[in-house]
Amino acid sequence: MGITVRDATKADVPTILDIYNYEVLHGTATFDIEPKTLADRLIWFRETQRPPHRVIVADDGAGVAGWGCLHPFHTRAAYRFTTEDSVYIHQNRRGEGIGKLILARLIEVARLGGFHSIMAGTSEGNEASVRLHQRFGFEVVGVQREVGYKFEHWIDVTWMQKMLE
């Protein structure tokens, strides 16, 4: 495939933003309903790059084809050993196995960061994300019914978890 998964840099943020905003406008992988600005994403990038959290990208040599991150599951101290992952693939690159590369690296980073578990919240209709996480041993631990409202309909969120120890 010729894809390298590496830590994201500030120079990657505009492409990360483009991939994310496509999903804001056309999908339900995020519950944001207004596109983010570059200034917003630069702040998010700085905050998400604080160890043990991380933003990574899948780079095919011509640019970023997808990205992922580990971010706090909750801000309260007792949750500090649990992280949440996010994986986004450029809309023209889906189905190429890029998500597998990103999620494998995120799991490795989570282990190295001392996390006990990883959570993944997947919106209704995003079966590719559910299958991806299941391939890596994530199990469904619950469903929140109709917690999001986007594109004029209610959306469930399925929560999946992977224990690392």
- 37-91 pLDDT, tens digit per residue, is 999 999 999 999 888 999 999 999 999 999 999 999 999 999 999 999 999 999 9
Fold of 4-163: Aminopeptidase (3.40.630)
The per-residue pLDDT of the chain, averaged, comes to: 96
Structure tokens at 144: 């929140």
Reported confidence tier of residue 5, pLDDT bands at 50, 70, 90: very high
The predicted model gives 19-24 an average pLDDT of: 98
Of 109, 101, 94, 112, the closest CA to residue 136 belongs to 101
Sign of CA dihedral 108, 38, 4, 1: positive
pLDDT of residue 90: 97
Compute the distance between CA of residue 48 and CA of residue 53 in angstroms, rounded to an integer.
Answer: 6
Domain parsing of the chain, residue ranges: 4-163
The predicted model gives 113-121 an average pLDDT of: 97
Reported confidence tier of residue 165, pLDDT bands at 50, 70, 90: confident
**From start to end of 40-138, where are the E strands?**
54-59, 64-72, 82-89, 117-123
Reported confidence tier of residue 1, pLDDT bands at 50, 70, 90: low
